[in-house]
Structures are given as structure tokens and as C-alpha cells.
Structure 1
Amino acid sequence: MIVWINGAFGSGKTTTASLLAERLDGAKLFDPEYVGYMLMPFVESPTGDFQDLSLWRHLVIETMTGLARQYPHPWVAPMSLINATYRTEILDGIHQSGIRVHEFILTVPEDRLRARIDADEVDVKARQWRQDHVDQALATFATLTDATFIDGTPPAEQVAGAVLHRLAA
């Protein structure tokens, strides 16, 4: 099983996923960004976003399904998939391989989301890029009907608890 934690940049995906991996029996955390970091020295994306590389999307599907098959415990993947086409490609690709995927989208009001991005001191260089993609994230998530939405505004422990509760249901 894969638990995909989706949401706009600044919605709390990484923190929630880490807490979830600690609380979900036997779970391991895998961030698909690692696949992008692996590719960046060898392949340049014309847009600067490795998600625009079809190879990245293919390798994410193969890596996630390979991990789930060869190491069969829950996997938690924190990754913003704000391009609806890429989201479908990746999640359907994993599902079509026979691996169960539970996607949770963390929602945070735009003003609070932007404030979180501005307050983030961990990756200051990515701040403007994240701000520039808030509108796309909100627009994409507003059109989805096949995902489970979780309020990302409470403390991360409560958000992780809400995800666990939905998984158990």
C-alpha cells in the first residue's frame, strides 16, 4: 500500500508524512523528489521542473511499485502533484500495477498557505517558486473528485491522525 500525501507547497506534506510513517505500523517514508535529484545532474528539464520530464514520472511509478512489491509494508510518499495530467499518470500507473494507492490532499486556505511559504526558513531558495505555483495547485485540487481531502490547518499531529483515521475507515 502507498499513502500519497499531496497538497500545495507549504501545506504540511513532509511533516505530516513523517508523523504518519512513525504512527502507521511498519511504514517507510519515500520522497519522490529523490528521483528528481538523481536525474538533475544528467537530464535538464527545459522548464526547470523535473516533474515535466516524462522519465521522472516513469521512474516514480517504477520506484514506488518496486518498493511496494519487494518491500511489502506501507509506503508514505509526500509529493505535490499539481499538474492534473501528471497526477493521473503517476497515480494510475501505480494503481494499474496492482498496488493500492490512497491519496490524501492537504488543504490550507490561500492566505495561510502563502504565509507558511514565506515563513519557511528551511529552503529559502525555493520560496518564490513555491509562491508562483500556489494558484496552479489550488486550481487543480478544486477540480478533483477522486481524492480524499484533509484539512491541513490544525497541528501536524492532528492532520496525521486524520489521515490514519481515514485509512482505518
Structure 2
Amino acid sequence: MILWINGAFGAGKTTTASLVTKRLDGAKVFDPEYVGYMLMPFVESPTGDFQDLPLWRHLVIQTMTGLAQQHPHTWVVPMSLINVAYRTEIFDGIRAAGADLREVILRVPEQQLRNRIDDDQVEAKARQWRQDHVTQALTTFASLADAHFVDASQPPEQVAEAVLAHCQRQP
């Protein structure tokens, strides 16, 4: 199973992924940002966002499906996909390869989200970039009819429990 934890930047994806992984036997985290970091020295994105590179999206699909096929345990993926077309491309590609992909989207009220971004000391260098993408993320996620949302304004342990409960309900 691939559990994709989506949500705006600052919603708590990495924290949730860490907690979920500890509760699922054999689960591992895979962060597609590492694919982007690998590409950055070789390929320049005109927008500055590696998600805009078709090669990044292709490699994410290939990496996720390869991991799922060759190392079959639960993969937890904390990654914001705020472009609907990219989300569709990646998810359709993973599912077309036969992988069991499940997504949850962490939802946080806008002001709380902005406060989290401002208070984050780990990702301080990305603060402005993350703030600049809040509106797009919230707009994108509000438009998704096929998504399962988890209230991430709660304490991290409760968020992780809600994510796990959803995964257990889904076939």
C-alpha cells in the first residue's frame, strides 16, 4: 500500500507520516522531494518548482511503483500536490501500475496554517515560498470531490489516528 499524505505546506504531513509509520508494522517513509533534489543539479525548472518538471513526475511514478513492487510493504508519502493535473497524473500512473494508492489530505484552517508556517524553525528558509502557496493549496483541495480530508488542526497523535482509521476502512 502507498499512503499519500497530501495537504498544504505546513499542514503537518511530515509529522503525521512519522507517527503513522511508527504505528504500521514495516512501514517506511518515502519523500518525493528527494527525487527533486536529485534532479536540481542537472535540470533547471523555469518556475523554480521541480514539480513543474515532467521528468520529476515521471520519476516519482516510477520510483513509487518500483518501491511498491520490489519492496512490498506500506510506503507513507508526505508530499503536497497542489496542482490538480499533477496529482491526477501521478496518482493515475501509480494506480495504472497496479499499486494500492490511498490518499488523505490534511486540512488546517488558513490562519492556523499561516501561523504554523511562520513558527516553523526547521523550514525557515522556505517560509515565504510556503506562505505564497497557501491560497493555491486551499483552493485546490476545496475543489477535490474524490478526496478524504483529515482535520489536522488537532494534536499530531489524533491526526495520525484519524489517518490510520481511514486506511483501515478503505479496501
Give the C-alpha shift of residue 130 in structure 1.
0.2
Provide the aligned length of Structure 1 versus Structure 2. Answer: 169
Q: Deviations over 1:84-139 (max 9, x none)?
A: 00000001110111001000000000000000000001121100000000000000
CA distance in 1, matches of 2:75, 2:56: 19
* Aligned counterpart, 2:58: 58
Q: Name the amino acid aligned to 1:160.
A: A
CA distance in 2, matches of 1:109, 1:118: 14
User: After the TM superposition, which parts of structure 1 deviate over 3 Å for at least 4 consecutive aligned residues?
Assistant: none
Matches within 5 A, 1:76-87: 76-87=76-87
Q: Which runs of 5+ in 1 are unaligned?
A: none
* Aligned counterpart, 2:38: 38
CA distance in 1, matches of 2:119, 2:84: 27
| Partner SS state of residue 102, structure 1 | strand
TM superposition score normalised by structure 1 = 0.99
TM superposition score normalised by structure 2 = 0.98
Q: Name the amino acid aligned to 2:84.
A: A
CA distance in 2, matches of 1:101, 1:63: 14
Q: Share of identical aligned residues, percent?
A: 72
| Partner SS state of residue 45, structure 1 | coil
CA distance in 1, matches of 2:156, 2:96: 31
CA distance in 1, matches of 2:30, 2:47: 25
Give the C-alpha shift of residue 141 in structure 1.
0.3
RMSD (Å), alpha carbons: 0.5
